[in-house]
Amino acid sequence: MGLIEDAVSGNVRALAQLATHIENDDPLSHEAIDQIYPLTGNARTIGITGPPGVGKSSFANQLVRALRSADQTCAVIAVDPSSALSGGAMLGDRIRMLEHHSDPGVFVRSTASRGRTGGLAPSTAGLIHLFDAAGFDFVIVETVGVGQEDVDIVGYVESVVLVQAPGFGDTIQTLKAGVLEVADIFVVNKADLPGAQVTVKALRGLLSLAIGQYDRLPPVIAVSATERTGIEDVVRAVDDHRNWLRSTGVILRRRDKLAVNEITGQMRRLVDDRIERLVGQDSAQVVIEQVVSRRLSPRRAAEKLIAGSLPQA
């Protein structure tokens, strides 16, 4: 068997190797996605997002624990800030979710955001497909700590969990509509700390004011990852959301949006690659020099490069 077949069959080493190819966006990764894509669409996908410091990793760890207790397998994509030196993930698999390292039903992959905004990595969609095709019941994506307008996760998963914590009251009061609209479930983590119920009430009050923006009002659930309370309520909320998506047919609209999002994302990557090649070729230097000398405007230079009408050096 080859690497792709081994990865899909559940070979952990092959799965890790193929994930690296997907992160590098090399030719083998393109071949792999072509082969495995017909096998996808079965995993339940959950996005965990929220500002830095609210305990997303601790919450994700306990969510995996609860799902494993229900005999569900999980793959976790943990998006980390990029290292300024290597471009790789600053936090690795050895740090995250150490209690699951020997569990064959859990696979954790830390991946670098590589400077991308929105809390995700360029390889997020490909990794979701890989773990879906490999037969995991759940694929969980934990984003980098994001701001109020970073809502990219909604274009990659079926259910979005937005995590907040006590002490983030000012943030709640200024949450933008974009974040409110993409969250399917709100979690207030660190519920064992003072002010947790105040935060829960503030969120519920804010959501009640924005009720017209929702097909279904998201639940607000108090959770303590350290004390392992409230996690089962989140699992039930995820199940309820999935059932609602299917019973109403909203799942079809959401999957359509997921497909459009990924297609447009791939188109942008292809266009960016073409632009880099065009600007990097020797003949483009003539156009660049004309812009530097003010004999050609940047727009006309771009038109020449795209049209391929480059002057001879």
Rounded to 10°, the helix 56-69/231-248 angle is: 80
DSSP 3-state of 237:
helix
Contact status, residue 116 vs residue 122, Cβ threshold 8 Å: yes
> 206 in a domain, yes or no?
yes
Q: How far apart are CA 43 and CA 25, in angstroms?
A: 23
pLDDT band, very low/low/confident/very high, at 216 (cuts 50, 70, 90): confident
Q: How far apart are CA 218 and CA 215, in angstroms?
A: 9
pLDDT band, very low/low/confident/very high, at 45 (cuts 50, 70, 90): very high
> 83 in a domain, yes or no?
yes
Q: How far apart are CA 223 and CA 66, in angstroms?
A: 13
Determine what percent of the chain is predicted with pLDDT higher than 90.
49
Whether 210 and 268 map to the same domain: the answer is no
> 175 in a domain, yes or no?
yes
Whether 59 and 199 map to the same domain: the answer is yes
> Quick one: pLDDT at residue 111?
83
Q: Is 184 exposed, middle or buried (0-12, 13-18, 19+ CB in 10 A)?
A: buried
- How many C-alpha atoms does 53 have within 13 Å on its Cβ side? 6
> 93 in a domain, yes or no?
yes
Distance, C-alpha 67 to centroid of its chain: 19
Q: What is the pLDDT of residues 265-282, one digit of tens each?
A: 889 888 888 888 888 888
CA 135, 66, 7 angle in degrees (round to 5)? 20
Whether 266 and 255 map to the same domain: the answer is no
- How many C-alpha atoms does 64 have within 13 Å on its Cβ side? 31
> 283 in a domain, yes or no?
yes
Whether 300 and 222 map to the same domain: the answer is no
Residue range of the domain that includes 285: 262-307
> 312 in a domain, yes or no?
no
Q: Give me the CATH number covering residue 168.
A: 3.40.50.300
Contact status, residue 221 vs residue 230, Cβ threshold 8 Å: yes
The domain total for the chain is 2
Whether 282 and 242 map to the same domain: the answer is no
* Per-residue CA distances from 112 to 9, 84, 91, 143, 261 (Å): 26, 11, 9, 10, 20
Whether 223 and 288 map to the same domain: the answer is no
Q: What is the pLDDT of residues 17-40, one digit of tens each?
A: 999 999 998 999 999 999 999 999
Pairing of strands 138-142, 220-222: unpaired
> 313 in a domain, yes or no?
no
Whether 274 and 202 map to the same domain: the answer is no
Whether 214 and 296 map to the same domain: the answer is no
> 145 in a domain, yes or no?
yes
Whether 160 and 303 map to the same domain: the answer is no
Whether 172 and 290 map to the same domain: the answer is no
Q: What is the pTM of this model?
A: 0.84
Asked if residue 99 has pLDDT above 70, the reply is no
Whether 113 and 123 map to the same domain: the answer is yes
* Per-residue CA distances from 85 to 1, 20, 117, 144, 169 (Å): 36, 18, 18, 18, 36
Whether 180 and 282 map to the same domain: the answer is no
**In which residue are the tokens 């690795």 written?**
92
